[in-house]
């Protein structure tokens, strides 16, 4: 027993220093654990807010069912978007108009040509020619930017202007 007491007395400084190091390491680990538990506790409270009577399994099943319902709505909205996009391509998107004097003896630029095209450059050109005694209106179809009939200079101008538009 005296041998052990002698060893302890000789190395008491090292034993105490070792215990202090173990204590400090334990304290640091304890602080890290406390911070981690605090963060997890906050996340858990946020996750469980308003659901104190439900267990985790019920809560997760509710979230999964809500997620499935949302996926169905997203798919439905995606189909609706694609349908609307294909319909929009067929709507008038590009318009150009020009007013001009069809006859030199007329006082004002009362004649007009208007091109109305969709995204595929399909549409019509409407021309109204105003004369002293009459007004005549023409409609000429356009298919993929190519007119079905011969165009006047003004009609060609509005067609090219409409095609350039986005």
pLDDT at 102: 79
pLDDT, tens only, 67-104: 989 998 999 999 999 999 888 888 898 999 999 887 77
Q: Given pLDDT bands bounded at 50, 70 and 90, which one contains residue 10?
A: confident
| Mean pLDDT on 111-126 | 92
User: Quick one: tokens of 141?
Assistant: 């179809």
Evaluate whether 114 touches 153 at the Cβ level (below 8 Å).
no
Q: What is the pTM of this model?
A: 0.56
CB contact at 8 A, 148 and 142 = yes
Region of poorest pLDDT, from 17-21, 116-120, 125-129, 162-166: 162-166
For position 166, what pLDDT does the model report? 78
């Amino acid at each position: 027993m005296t041998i052990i007491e002698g060893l302890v007395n000789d190395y008491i400084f090292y034993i105490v220093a070792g215990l202090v190091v173990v204590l400090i390491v334990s304290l640091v680990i304890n602080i890290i654990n406390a911070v981690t538990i605090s963060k997890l506790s906050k996340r858990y409270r946020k996750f469980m807010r308003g659901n104190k009577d439900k267990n985790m399994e019920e809560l997760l099943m509710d979230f999964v069912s809500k997620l499935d319902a949302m996926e169905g709505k997203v798919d439905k909205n995606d189909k609706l978007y694609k349908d609307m996009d294909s319909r929009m391509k067929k709507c008038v998107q590009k318009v150009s108009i020009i007013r001009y004097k069809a006859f030199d003896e007329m006082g004002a630029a009362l004649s007009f040509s208007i091109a109305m095209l969709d995204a595929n450059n399909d549409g019509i050109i409407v021309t109204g020619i105003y004369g002293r005694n009459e007004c005549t209106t023409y409609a000429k179809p356009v298919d993929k930017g190519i007119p079905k009939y011969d165009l006047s200079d003004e009609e060609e101008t509005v067609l090219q202007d409409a095609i350039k538009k986005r």
